[in-house]
Amino acid sequence: MTALIARTRPLPSWFDPLQHVPAQGAVVWAREQRSLVAWGEAWRTDPGAGDGRFHTAAGRLRSWLARLTVDDRVEAWGTGPLAFGSFTFDPDDPSSLLVVPAVVLGRDGDTAWITTLGEGQRLPGRAPAPPVPAAGARRLGSSVDDAAWLESVARARQCVVDGVLDKVVLARDVVLERDEPVVSRDVVLSLARAYPDCFAFAFDGMVGATPELLVRLRSGAVESVVLAGSAPRGETRDGDERMGERLLASAKDRREHELALRTVREPLERLCEGIEVDPTPSLLRLGYVQHLCTRVRARARRTCVLELAGALHPTAAVCGVPTDKALSAIRELERFERGRYCGAVGWTDARGDGEWGIALRCAQLDGRRARLFSGAGIVAGSDPHAELRETEIKLRPLLEALGAEVRRGEHAS
């Protein structure tokens, strides 16, 4: 049997992978001057359910890569064969997936490349510029209506007040429908253009633009970005500054942030050395919302990025504290399945390096329908109506990308 060869070749420095995204079925991972676009399938694995699904996926990938011949003429971060994946939030959900595409186009600054597995792989034509979404996407409703969701938030807050939980994150979904099938390429390119400081992604029908880096591993250097505690953006510079100052001074949001930071720092201390943590949270300002942000850096011991992602997931930013009790509360109070929302999404290379984000600000596409997700962290000082407004703010990027109406009074003010 002829050995499968992964060939990486340089492309001109002006080459832009985002101009060659297939209309459907593409894998995309893009932020600022870095982008990866892939399609086809050379290998895949369904790692199943359980807390060990990241470890299972990493082991299967290593075994398959050991039989692969690699011919890499670029030898940069992200070259050679790559595996892209999306893991479920709940370990009981068996729908995680890891795929090695047949073709990957990459760009990092002025370095561009193509990696192919197998023969006869060709570039698709140039992708048209994403159209301005036409109005007409209709809200079909949510798995849980607003009144029931507010009740769930009140119950979650009481669990915190009673000392059962320190924090829990409750999510909600919104289903949209269009007259024509939703084109995943148009959605992800619109998000990449509108939110260049987020990770725009597309994988297996899920598209989004997440601001949250779960973990990056590059030549032994580890980085994670913790986001927890949110406020809308202001309409004026002075108003925006005031909102940011209130967020930085908010005891409720600082407490929420400290809990999320703890669930990132403690696993990294077990697996890494030289931990460095920002001394105080800063503000990460996005187009529609601002977050408290803390960066954590370290040096990895002998491990791979998938193992690190599995050790960190789920953080308190998307689950809660204590993790097991928060997960039980989510299963009881949310009353719908998150699927891969709030799970890990990203890529890994043959060396074990890679980049994984948390699947936030995202939607699962299915023909003419899109299921959007957002959530909010609940602590003792949470107000249910304020948390509902926060989820609407977080829905805004996908609502706009799909041409749906943003609820009046729910956007940043």
Catalytic center residues: 167, 212
Among candidate residues 37, 130, 122, the one with its CA nearest the CA of residue 84: 37
List, as one string, the DSSP characters of 265-309.
Answer: HHHHHHHEEEEEE-SS-EEEE-SSEEEEEEEEEEEE-S--HHHHH
Contact indicator for 187, 371 with CB cutoff of 8 Å: no
Nearest 5°: the CA angle 18, 87, 344 is 65
List, as one string, the DSSP characters of 316-358.
Answer: TTTSEESHHHHHHHHHHHT-S--TTTTSEEEEEETTS-EEEEE
- The whole-angstrom separation of Cα 306 and Cα 304 is 6
- The whole-angstrom separation of Cα 118 and Cα 104 is 12
- The whole-angstrom separation of Cα 148 and Cα 349 is 44
- Tokens 């962290």: give the residue: 377
- Tokens 């805004």: give the residue: 396
Q: Which two tokens stand for residue 264?
A: 């990132």
User: Which residue stretches of 34-101 are H helix?
Assistant: 53-65
Q: Which two tokens stand for residue 125?
A: 């034509």
How many other β-carbons are positioned within 10 Å of the β-carbon of residue 323?
A: 14
Contact indicator for 314, 327 with CB cutoff of 8 Å: yes
- Tokens 């109070």: give the residue: 333
- The whole-angstrom separation of Cα 262 and Cα 321 is 10
